[in-house]
Amino acid sequence: MLTYAVRRIMLAIPTLLFISLVIFLLLELSPGDPLGDVPLTVPPEVKEKMREALGLGQAWYIRYVLWLKQFFWVEPLHWFDQVFGTDFSRGAQRIISFQSRSPVFDVIAERIPQTLKVVGFSYLVGVLIAIPIGIISAYRQYSWFDQLGTFVSMVGFSMPTFFTGVVFIIVFAVNLQWFPSIYDTTLKVTDWNSFLQQVRQMAMPVTVLALYNAAQISRFMRASMLDNLGQDYVRTARAKGLSERTVVLKHVLRNSLIPVVTVIALGLPAVFGGAIITEQVFKVNGLGQLLISAIHSNDIPMVLTLTFIFAILIVVFTLIADILYGILDPRIRYD
Amino acid sequence: MIDKAQETARNEAELIRETASNAPTPAAGMLPPDQPVSTVNTTPASRSQWRDVWRQFRRHRGAMVALVLFTGIVLFVTIGPYIWTIDATYVDIRARNQSFSAAHPLGTDQLGRDMLARLMKGGQVSLAVGLTAMLIAVTLGSLIGILSGFFRRLDAPLMRMTELFLALPLLPLLLLMVTLFREPLSQAMGPGLGTFLLIVTAIGATSWMQAARIVRGDVLGLKEREFILAARSIGTPNFRMMTRHVLPNVLSPIMVAATLGIATAIITESALSFLGLGFPPDFPTWGRLLYDAIEQMQMYPWRVILPGIFISLTVLTVNYIGDGLRDAMDPRIRGR
């Protein structure tokens, strides 16, 4: 197990390096010019200076290695300095956004809480809805609950979040006026009233994303429960007189959760990506919104760093899912 | 109830006919037929795999309803423009923002363009994007899957590549590709065709991985079977082996992957359009129509809801068809 984990981590490093190179080259090939918005009246030599100042003067491979150094060396050092009050990173150049002229990671750190609050919470809610639904629909297969559950999950799975989100806004924000349609990031939770306001503005984005995630996870949960309910050990457990509750909730559920847990882990990074759309619908200024605005304004360092962070999330969670599978299921031996 | 009883009766009759046709009849070969004409008349239809699949598919109620609805949507966007002949791009500024009426059954948009015509036109583009992107993805996926399953030497590098692609953050990359290359391609090939090719290739190139993995797994299993050994023993060359013996046997997972691929491609395209990174404004697709209507959704909610319903309904029906197809193609379920 440990050797497997170590081997996988060793393999993840070249994968990530390659992905970063792909993203970098894609941006490099792009015909867009970060100085495209500079007025034509600016003389060419000044423009050249600006180019130098943005770090665009060198060949691409030098800039790539420089970016790698900044991402993997300067930024961690900087965090280290901030935590322990040392100054190892003094004088070292951090990754600077073209758009805001401030370090990319500072901007990202500002945006992460919103994304985590909305997306993370919705994923949690989605999982909490999906698992009981999956259990009941599998246990009472072909009952009306199961029919309804599979139909609703199919619909939820097929409706894109930008449509459900917009319908929710029309119904609950415009017609009923229960919830605000725009997420207010500046709101600080200080007392009961502001807490209520926070709950109200989170309700819609969380519901939309939670429904979408619950639809997918409940399908997996149902399939996995059905697989296990037909197994011999279930018959044995019933035969030795265990109560139905123990059979289903202890024996079957535990075994069925193994693949579902890995699916949940695998889905987490995709949720960050998928949340780009939901954040756009409800105007939550989280990571997704940051990425879109950076793409629109040709902010190459920001786009590169953000996309790479998404890639890291995917690789890390795939690794976690594989290792979890090995830990949870003793039948699986990687060595 | 009566329908159901009739259907089971019909199915049983069919089953009896088909099993009877396969049953050995020792007397038939030896004795001359008494009435040759009648035997011709009662010859049952030949039993092929696809007939079996269709029979099983028909029993999946959701999939059948979905198939009818999907055919309806396809007819709506293909035949519809011949019946409802208003041009989707015709601007009638005096008739703008109208609600449902006889002249414009689904109203008009902010420039007075007919919504019904725009929904038809948008559906054509959306479905075309879905189908083409799926074709690219499935072709690429089956090619890579078959190659890596068939040739041991190619297996490791191709699968590493697949894993690499699976680790890519797809939506951000898609957004990036579309923003970066939209302008030059539009200039080179015209705004419509350029964007279409770009979006289709981008979606196709980022969604072949699942198909490749499924096909590879199936090919690996097939390779150990006796008929492959038999084919090899009579000297079948590799290419013929793949096209003649391997490909037909992995067709069912490919078809299921293809069906589900249409759904994902349609959703991805409309998501791109929704983020404003899809087709140009005068080029309606369902996602673009939805995006264009967002600004005025408080006044004219139907303009948002209609294209959304079309997207969701198409994706839902395609998913149901895929589900039914998967059940129908699974020999363990079939015949139960």
DSSP for residue B79 = T
Q: Which of residues 121-140 of B touch A (CB under 8 A)?
A: none
B176, A159: Cβ pair inside 8 Å?
no
Q: What angle do CA B32, B38, B39 make, to 5 degrees?
A: 55
Rounded Cα gap, residues B170 and B207, in angstroms? 9
Least confident range from A136-145, A236-245, B20-29, B299-308: namely B20-29
Q: What percent of chain B has pLDDT over 90?
A: 15
| Nearest one of B67, B69, B184, B74 to B124, comparing CA atoms | B74
Assign B44 a pLDDT band (cuts: 50, 70, 90). low
Confidence of residue A35 (pLDDT cuts 50, 70, 90): low
Burial code (b: 16+ CB inside 10 Å, e: under 16) for A59-87 equals eeeebbeebeebbeebbebbeeeeeeeee
pLDDT at residue A321 above 70? yes
B9-14 contacts at long range (C-beta below 8 A, 24 or more positions apart): B11/B55, B11/B59, B14/B55
Highest mean pLDDT: which range of A39-43, A108-112, B196-200: B196-200
**Cβ–Cβ < 8 Å for A16, A316:** no
To the nearest whole Å, the CA of A32 is away from the closest chain B CA by 7
Taking 90 as the threshold, does the pLDDT of residue A286 lie above it?
Answer: no
Give the residue among A312, A331, A310, A333 at the shortest CA–CA distance from A17. Answer: A312
Interface test with A, best of B59, B73, B165, B274 (most A CBs within 10 A): B274
Using the Cα atoms of residue B96, residue B102, residue B104 and residue B106 in order, give the sign of their dihedral: positive
A9 at B interface, C-beta within 8 A: no
CA distance B298 to chain A (A): 6
Q: Give the model confidence (pLDDT) of B226-253 as tens digits.
A: 888 999 899 889 888 888 888 888 888 8
pLDDT higher for B130 or B23? B130
> Can you tell me the distance from the alpha carbon of B223 to that of B241, in angstroms, rounded to the nearest whole number?
10
Q: Which residue has the higher pLDDT, A127 or B91?
A: A127
CA A210 vs. chain centroid, Å, equals 13
Whether residue A162 and residue B290 make contact (CB cut-off 8 A), yes or no, is yes
For residue A177, the chain B residues in CB contact (below 8 A) are: none
pLDDT at residue B24, as a whole number: 43
B315 — pLDDT class (breaks 50, 70, 90): very high
pTM: 0.81
A155, A221, A331, B256: CA torsion to nearest 10: -20
Q: What angle do CA A276, A282, A286 make, to 5 degrees?
A: 45
- Identity of the residue in A174, A280, A310 whose CB atom sits nearest the CB atom of B275: A280
Give the integer Cα–Cα distance in Å for B60 and B56: 7
Please give the Cα distance from A98 to A83 (Å, whole number): 27
CB contacts of B187 in chain A (<8 Å) are none
Measured between alpha carbons, how far is A66 from A117 in angstroms, rounded to an integer? 33
Of A127, A121, A95, A123, the closest CA to residue A109 belongs to A95
In CATH, what is the architecture of B49-81+112-334?
Orthogonal Bundle (1.10)
Question: Can you tell me the mean pLDDT for A157-171?
Answer: 87
SS3 of residue A253 by DSSP: helix
Question: B164 to chain A: which residues are within 8 Å by CB?
Answer: 15, 18-19
A200: CB partners within 8 A, 6+ apart: A178, A179, A180
CB pairs under 8 A between A and B: 120
Enumerate residues 20 to 49 of chain A having a beta carbon within 8 A of any beta carbon in chain B.
Answer: 22-23, 26-27, 29-32
A209 CA to chain B: closest CA distance, Å? 15
**Of residues A298 and B319, which shows the higher confidence score?**
B319
Is the CB of residue A328 less than 8 Å from the CB of residue A316? Answer: no
Q: How far apart are the C-alpha atoms of B147 and B238, rounded to whole Å?
A: 11
| Amino acid B14: pLDDT | 54
Confidence at A335, pLDDT banded by 50, 70, 90: low
**Nearest alpha carbon to residue B130 among B220, B83, B77, B199:** B199
Whether the CB of B181 is below 8 Å from some CB of chain A: the reply is yes
CA B265 distance to own-chain centroid: 9
Residue A159 has pLDDT above 70, yes or no: yes
Quickly state the pLDDT bin for A36 (edges 50, 70, 90): low
| Three-class HEC string of A60-73 | HHHHHHHHHHHHHH
Sign of CA dihedral B279, B283, B286, B289: positive
Contacts of B310 (CB under 8 A, 6+ apart): B73, B119, B122, B123, B126, B286
pLDDT of residue B5: 52
What DSSP string describes B275-287? TT-SS-TTS--HH
Residue B114's alpha-carbon distances to B279, B295, B310, in angstroms, are 19, 18, 16
Per-residue model confidence (pLDDT) at position B20: 45
Taking residues B142-151, what's their average pLDDT? Answer: 90
Pairwise CB contact (< 8 Å): B173 & A26? yes
Q: Look at B312 and A15 and tell me if their CB atoms are within 8 Å.
A: no
Q: Which residues of A touch B311 (CB under 8 A)?
A: 160, 163
Q: pLDDT digits over A63-88, tens only?
A: 888 888 888 887 877 888 878 877 77
- Mean of the per-residue pLDDT values of chain B: 79
The domain locations on chain B are 49-81+112-334
The answer to whether A277 contacts B175, with C-beta atoms less than 8 Å apart, is: no
Do the beta carbons of residue B253 and residue B330 sit within 8 Å? no
Mean pLDDT of B215-224: 88
Q: Evaluate whether A81 touches A87 at the Cβ level (below 8 Å).
A: yes
According to the model, what pLDDT value does residue A275 have?
74
State in Å, rounded, how far the first CA of chain A is from the last one. 7
Which of B12-26, B46-60, B156-170 shows the lowest mean pLDDT across its residues?
B12-26
pLDDT of A102 over the 60 cut = yes
Q: State the pLDDT at residue A169.
A: 87
**pLDDT number for residue B332:** 64
Question: Does A292 contact B167 at a Cβ distance shorter than 8 Å?
Answer: no
Q: Where are the alpha helices (DSSP H) in chain A?
A: 2-29, 44-53, 60-69, 75-84, 104-115, 121-139, 144-158, 161-168, 192-229, 232-239, 244-246, 253-282, 287-296, 300-328
Number of Cβ atoms within 10 Å of the Cβ of A19: 23
In contact, B88 and B124? CB cutoff 8 Å: no
8 Å CB contact between B269 and B199: yes
pLDDT of B29 over the 50 cut = no
What are A149-154's contacts with CB under 8 Å, separation 24+? A149/A218, A149/A222, A150/A219, A150/A222, A151/B62, A152/A215, A153/A214, A153/A215, A153/A216, A153/A218, A153/A219, A154/A215, A154/B62, A154/B316, A154/B319, A154/B320, A154/B323
> Helix (H, G, I), strand (E, B), or coil: what is residue B234?
coil
Q: What is the mean pLDDT of chain A?
A: 83
Nearest-by-Cβ selection for A26 from B170, B176, B294 = B176
